[in-house]
Structure 1
Amino acid sequence: MIYSVFVYKEHYLVKIGLALGAGGARGLAHIKILEAFDELNIKPSIISGSSIGAIIGAAYASGMTAKEIKLKVDTLINTRESKAWEFYKNSDIKLLFNFIDFNMNGGGIIKGDKFKKFMENEIKVDTFEDLQIPLKIVATHYWKKSQRIFTNGNLIPAITASYSLPGLFSPTVINNELYFDGGMVNPVPFDIINENCDYVIAVDVSANKFPKSKKIPSFYENIFSAFQIMQNSILSEKLSNSKPDLLIKIKVKNVRMLDFTKTAEIFEQAEEAKKELKIKLKKMMKD
């Protein structure tokens, strides 16, 4: 039996909302959170996602299990057949060009068309209306400097808008409007589902920075760290005004924003959060 709601309270069913935050490679930890739901045969009533959270959330809302999503990630990144793995191990530049489409016309280093095609092949749902679980995706409207919440229409463009990290990816164009990464305005979008459920669980996978030495960080580390500092500041401000019913802070150490080859480390570090969530969910179901 699958529960779309998980606990009775004052004679009505309490609906759960799940907000999956931004965080680059660390966002793969969301899969372990989804495993907790699957292992208890529970389904959220609604999901919201920003950046990597939008990708994982959309895959899950389409009907894929956490196990299936994890298998896709392992196949894409960590197997010997993976182009990303072969490049990482053998530094074969030709394999990189097979997987990533560099952009020579400005807007970002990567156009993102090839990864978009990959998502279309793997998330076999065309529109929000076709999803098995309602989904809200956050992106940043470039000109309005504000968040845009996608809830209907074509699914894949909304996902690409949500993970289009400025400088790395070209902006996503939807109806002649430019959109960038949702983490710029709402890194953990728990607030946009408050009205749609009775109990909100928010998952924060933002970076934990620890000084390793007195050495000045590299250009690469400076750029992405600045983005992460901005996200942490936005989230802290949000939490000072309102809080989700349960905030899960997954402490993933020594994993940078683009360290997608560290899946084993990410999953291992997220295991404790998964166990704690299962305990809390079981208690909720009994209360």
Structure 2
Amino acid sequence: MTPEVFAEWFRRQGHRVLRTASSYWAEAGPRTFQAFPYHWLIVPTQTELDHLLREHSAIGLRYSTPWEGASGAASYHVVFMEREYPLSILPQKTRPDVRRTLQRGAVEQISFPRLARDGWKLRADTLKRQGREGAESREWWERLCMSAEGLPGFEAWAVVVEGQLTAALIAFLYEDCCNVLYQQSRTEYLSLGVNNALTYVFTREVLSRQNPPWIFYGLHSLDAPPTVDEFKFHMRYTAKPVRQRVVFHPWLRPLMNPLSHALLKAGLRLKPEQPALSKAEGMLRFYFQERLPLERQSLPPPLQPK
């Protein structure tokens, strides 16, 4: 499917979507735009970026660019590029978890109305485990799910145990790449290995299709805990080195300094449950990181030598 279909999903949710020479851009926060498709590595000109910022009164932009590029913070995409995904590829201790889940229940494609209705408990449990309780609402979740209803390329998959959703994901299949967008699960079923089974079966399903795409499992997050990606690496996905850029409006750049960063971090300590603060702190952290030469930057853990 095309980026224009993905853009329609954003529009249905009420987000502004812009198009420039290099990419599409969705308003991820108030006057803050994220480039998509997420797996694209783009090299927009400074003229393009400044025009986008000024023309649309944007505060900031975020996008991924090649590792070999001239600027950007050291970062990564979580990907699976192989053509086969046998059970034997998983860690020995994980294989019984997958088998146990598939004995108790099934991994199957479900409708978006069902995910909207029954999936919020999974999402709320996931946010609580990540220390982000209250960052999203049931209304937001239902709008997110129902906005995908009827759009080609969007799929919802779930682990169903005794008629109950225990883990679920939302994905979008471009012509060349499958993007896993959201994954969530019930805490009480984690010991059963439902996340492992969901990732395993879904990965195999995607790879079994004609002209299978490679799979993008997420972008190095601004604020999510490292454990989110550790699970993906445990499932034998890998970190593809890229660089992330955060570009602020020219009028705001003088205000982006160590003092403003310190104030943001102090505010986050006082109100850790505020997603806007955590995202803003993450953007400023990436912004400062990319000011350094690549050899002086702190590599994220997945890119550090083992």
TM-score of the pair, normalised by structure 1: 0.31
Instruction: Determine which structure has more spread, i.e. the larger CA radius of gyration.
Output: 2
Normalized per residue, which structure has more strand?
Answer: 2
TM-score of the pair, normalised by structure 2: 0.29
